[in-house]
Amino acid sequence: MARGSALWNVMTEAARKAARALRRDFGEVEQLQVSNKGPSDFVSAADIKAEKTLRAELQKARPRFGFLMEETGEIAGEDGKHRWIIDPIDGTTNFLHGIPHFAISIGLEMEGEIIAGVVYNPIVEEMFYAEKGQGAFLNDHRLRVSARTKMTEAVIATGIPFHGRPGHEPFLKQLGRVMNEVAGVRRMGTASLDLAYVAAGRCEGFWETGLQPWDIAAGILLVREAGGFVTDFKGGQDVLHGGNVVAANPKLHKQLLDLVTKG
Ligand code: IPD
C-alpha cells in the first residue's frame, strides 16, 4: 500500500515542513492586502523560501535525484533517472489575494514517467497522494473518480489563461460549448487541486491549456490512480510537457474531450 511507503514518508514530510512556513506567510498576506505596497514581493519571497525547503528536504532523503522547479528551473541529478517536479505554491494568485485555495505540488518522475505525486493544501490540511500502481489517497482514504455518467450532472473545473497570455478566444469557445452541457463550470485557480478534485470525485472533469509540468505532474498521477483518464487535446497519453489537459472519469472523458476540441 502506498500510504506508509518510503516515498510517501519522504514526500509528505517535505510538503508538511514547507507548509508550516507557508501557513504563517499566508496569515501575513491577509494583513498586507490593505497596505499600499501590497503583498507581491512578500509572496515571491514566500514562494522561493518554500521551494528551498522542499529542495533541501527531498535532497536530504534522495541525494542523487534531479529537480525541475517553478522558481529555480532544472537541476540535473547524479543518477540521471529520477527528478522531482515541484511547484511550491500552485495557485499563487489565490495566495496573493488571501484566498485559502492553493497547494504544494510534488511529482516524482522516473525515466520520463511520473511514479509518485503529492498535492497538499496546507490550509485545509488535505494531503492528496498517489503512487504508480498503488492507488490514490486523500489523507487516510482511498480515492475513486466519480461515477456520474451524465454531462448534465457534471461539475467541470477549468483554468482561464492569465492576463497577457494567449488563448482567450479559443478558451471562450471551449467554455461556451462545455457550459451548455454541464451542471456547472468552476475556475478555482489551482490546477494541481483541480486534478486532485477530479481524483476525489468532487468534479467529474477538468480541462486547461498552456499548463507547466509542475502544475500537473502530481495531479495527472492522482487522476489515473483514482481510475480516471488524462489526455492531451488529441487523446494522447503524453500530457506532461504539452500542457493541454483533459481529465475526467472514464464515462465522461470522451464527451468532455469532444466538447473542448470540436468546434
Ligand atoms: C497556475 C494555477 C492556475 C492555472 C495557471 C497556472 P501558479 O499556477 O495552477 O490554476 O490556471 O495556468 O499557471 O502560477 O499559481 O503556480
Ligand 1: atom nearest CA of 90 is 16
Give me the helices (H) in the chain, please.
Answer: 6-32, 40-61, 92-96, 168-179, 191-199, 213-225, 253-261
Over residues 222-244, mean pLDDT: 97
- The band of 181, judged by pLDDT with boundaries at 50, 70 and 90, is very high
Q: Is the pLDDT of residue 256 over 70?
A: yes
Ligand 1: centre distance to CA 91 (Å): 5
- Domains of the chain, with CATH numbers? 6-142 (3.30.540.10), 151-261 (3.40.190.80)
Ligand 1: atom nearest CA of 189 is 10
- The band of 258, judged by pLDDT with boundaries at 50, 70 and 90, is very high
Ligand 1: centre distance to CA 141 (Å): 27
- The band of 162, judged by pLDDT with boundaries at 50, 70 and 90, is confident
Ligand 1: atom nearest CA of 159 is 11
Ligand 1: atom nearest CA of 211 is 12
- C-alpha of 251 from chain center: 22
Helix (H) or strand (E) holding 116: strand 113-121
Over residues 226-231, mean pLDDT: 98
Mean pLDDT of the chain: 95
Cell of 118: 503529492
pTM summary value: 0.97
The residue whose grid cell reads 492507488 is 135
Q: What's the pLDDT tens digit per position in 195-212? A: 999 999 999 999 999 999
Q: What's the pLDDT tens digit per position in 102-117? A: 999 999 999 999 999 9
Closest Cα partner for 171 from 186, 163, 160?
160
Ligand 1: centre distance to CA 60 (Å): 28
Closest Cα partner for 66 from 108, 28, 5?
108
Q: What's the pLDDT tens digit per position in 114-150? A: 999 999 999 999 999 999 999 999 999 999 999 999 9
Q: Tell me how crowded residue 30 is: count the other CB atoms within 10 A of its CB.
A: 13
Cell of 200: 476525489
CB-CB contact of 184 with 155 (8 Å):
yes
The closest residue, in CA terms, to atom 11 on ligand 1 is: 159
- Return d(Cα 261, Cα 263) in angstroms, integer: 6
Better-scored residue on pLDDT, 1 or 231: 231
**Residues identified as active-site:** 70, 87, 89-90, 92, 215
Contacts of 216 (CB under 8 A, 6+ apart): 191, 192, 195, 239, 240, 243, 245
Residues contacting ligand 1 via CB (< 6 Å): 70, 87, 90-92, 159, 189-191, 208, 211, 215
Better-scored residue on pLDDT, 216 or 4: 216
Ligand 1: centre distance to CA 26 (Å): 17
The closest residue, in CA terms, to atom 1 on ligand 1 is: 91
Cell of 137: 489517497
Q: Is the pLDDT of residue 1 over 70?
A: no
Ligand 1: centre distance to CA 90 (Å): 6
Helix (H) or strand (E) holding 9: helix 6-32
Ligand 1: centre distance to CA 216 (Å): 10
pLDDT at 30 (0 to 100): 81
- The band of 263, judged by pLDDT with boundaries at 50, 70 and 90, is confident
Ligand 1: atom nearest CA of 89 is 16
Q: Is the pLDDT of residue 101 over 90?
A: yes
For 4, 9, 15, 64, the CA distances from 12, given in Å and listed in that order, are 10, 6, 5, 19
| Total count of residues recorded for the chain | 263
* Partner residues linked to 236 by β-bridges: none
For a ligand 1 pocket test, name from 48, 174, 207, 211 the mutation site with the most ligand atoms within 8 angstroms of its C-beta: 211
CB-CB contact of 128 with 146 (8 Å):
no
The closest residue, in CA terms, to atom 13 on ligand 1 is: 211
Better-scored residue on pLDDT, 133 or 42: 133
- The band of 79, judged by pLDDT with boundaries at 50, 70 and 90, is very high
Q: Tell me how crowded residue 249 is: count the other CB atoms within 10 A of its CB.
A: 25
